[in-house]
Amino acid sequence: MQQQPTLALKFIQVNVNPRKSVIVRRLADGGFSLVAGGRRYKAALAAHGEDYEIPVVVRDIDEIEAKQLAIIENIQRADMSPAEEVIAAAEQVGLCKGDRDEVARIFGWSRATLDKRLALMNCSTPVLDALSTRQILLGHAELLAAPPKETQDKLLPVIIKEGKSVSEVKKTIEQVACSLAAAIFDKADCAGCPHNSSTQGEMFGESIGTGNCTNHTCFNEKTEKMLDATATGLRDEYPVVRIVRAGDNHTRVQLVIDGPKGVGEEQAKACHTCQNYGAAVSGLPDSIGKVYKGQCFDTVCNMKKVAANLPAVKSAPQPKAVEMAKTGKSDSKSSGKAAPISASDAKATGATPSVTGRFRVGQDQGISRGVVA
């Protein structure tokens, strides 16, 4: 029987740190490089010194093959942490040129298990380190994989220091997530995004509710671009277009022609060419992206024009008076509801047509003839 070869520890170069059997490969300079068996190597070195001769298996393989063998040896360890599996899986995918099915076959994993481990690559290095040292649970890491890495690194110390449970972390992330249903931008790119909670839900056992974006910065940037695009599209139609945000000092009022808040028809025509007449795009949370047309941004001037038009509004025949004049009936038996004056009625009575009604913000296409609701 052939005797097991041995080597003095001092002749073995440690380039990788696998954890199982002692396997070495021959180097071009005649030396040997450790491929697998890092723990045994270190234990023997500590116990017996570098002159101790340890049993070895010599493989004639190149550096890439050695690295692949080390990963496979590592992945078969029973005590390997999920974080170590993540790193090993990512390295093996690189060695297999992105062929995940081949990596799953080599590791003896299902494709779903491989994809779950690779998804944890979205975790920051401190999070993976905390998972490796058992400072956090796998459920913590799965939840932390959703937000951006800078957010993860802010949450991690709090989770460790306060001993936050997985359910508590889940609630925290849900509170800062943005609803994709309320987004005003095109969500086509969000479908496969790692920050989409729907993607996380398909991958992990722990995830927040579906349909949420956990990347607040990206969500806000896309929202701002959409608001700017909406405003740009209105600038050919209106002299001034403003995006209204919380805390802005800009005041505005809907321009109305008739009624107690109206400026009159002639003045309205003049307002239409004013540099303070335009449209507003809402940047407020409860009406984000909504467009309000026919806005006057000089409220002081608007108040003056409305006041100047009030005498004409007061002197104009009221609908009930015109109806009484037309029918010859008193109002003692009337229902109290006045019918609108048609153009023919106005012509017959000599009255000026008066249009009243409620104006709904956002439906106006220029100047409202109604009264602001």
State what percent of residues in the chain have pLDDT above 90. 35
Report whether 281 contacts 243 (CB < 8 A).
yes
Between the alpha carbon of residue 230 and those of residues 8, 46, 186, 220, 363, the distances in Å are 74, 70, 13, 15, 16
**Regarding beta strands 23-26 and 57-59, do their DSSP bridges make them parallel or antiparallel, or are they unpaired?**
parallel
pLDDT confidence bin for 264, thresholds 50/70/90: very high
Strand, coil or helix: 118: helix
Q: Cα separation of 89 and 86, whole Å?
A: 5
Between 190 and 49, name the one with better pLDDT: 190
Residue 243 to residue 280: CA distance in whole angstroms: 6
Report whether pLDDT(254) > 90: yes
- Rounded to two decimals, the pTM is 0.57
Asked if pLDDT for residue 83 goes beyond 50, the answer is yes
Average pLDDT over residues 98-103: 89
Q: State the Cα–Cα distance between residues 92 and 223, nearest whole angstrom.
A: 38
pLDDT at 282 over 50: yes
Asked whether 54 and 6 are in contact (CB, 8 A), the reply is: yes
Number of Cβ atoms within 10 Å of the Cβ of 189? 11
CA distance 11 to 56: 12
At 205, the pLDDT band (50, 70, 90 cuts) reads low
Quote the CA–CA distance of 277 and 102 in Å, as a whole number: 65
In this predicted structure, what is the pLDDT of residue 344? 46
pLDDT tens sequence across 214-227: 998 999 999 999 99
Query: Would you say residue 288 has pLDDT above 80?
Result: yes
3-state DSSP assignment of residue 151: helix
C-alpha distances (whole Å) from 151 to each of 126, 211, 217, 221 are 12, 19, 10, 17
7-11, 193-197, 352-356, 365-369: segment of lowest average pLDDT: 352-356
| 333 has pLDDT over 50 | no
- What is the Cα–Cα distance from 102 to 348, expressed in whole angstroms? 90
The answer, yes or no, to whether residue 107 has pLDDT greater than 60, is: yes
What average pLDDT does the segment 161-177 reach?
A: 91
What kind and span of H or E run contains 66? helix 63-75
Bigger pLDDT: 85 or 328?
Answer: 85
Hey, what are 195's tokens?
């920050």
CA geometry: angle 353, 356, 358, nearest 5 deg: 160
Tokens of 322: 């015109």
pLDDT band for 308, please (50, 70, 90 cuts).
Answer: very high
Interacting residues of 157 by C-beta distance below 8 A, sequence separation 6+ = none
Q: Model confidence at 105, in pLDDT bands (50, 70, 90)?
A: confident
Q: Where are any strands of DSSP class E within 135-187?
A: 178-179
Structure tokens that stand for 161 in this block: 């220091």
pLDDT of residue 356: 39
Tokens of 144: 């932390």
Helix (H, G, I), strand (E, B) or coil at 37: coil
In the predicted model, what is the mean pLDDT of residues 364-373? 42
- pLDDT at position 56 is 80
Neighbours of 48 (CB within 10 A): 12
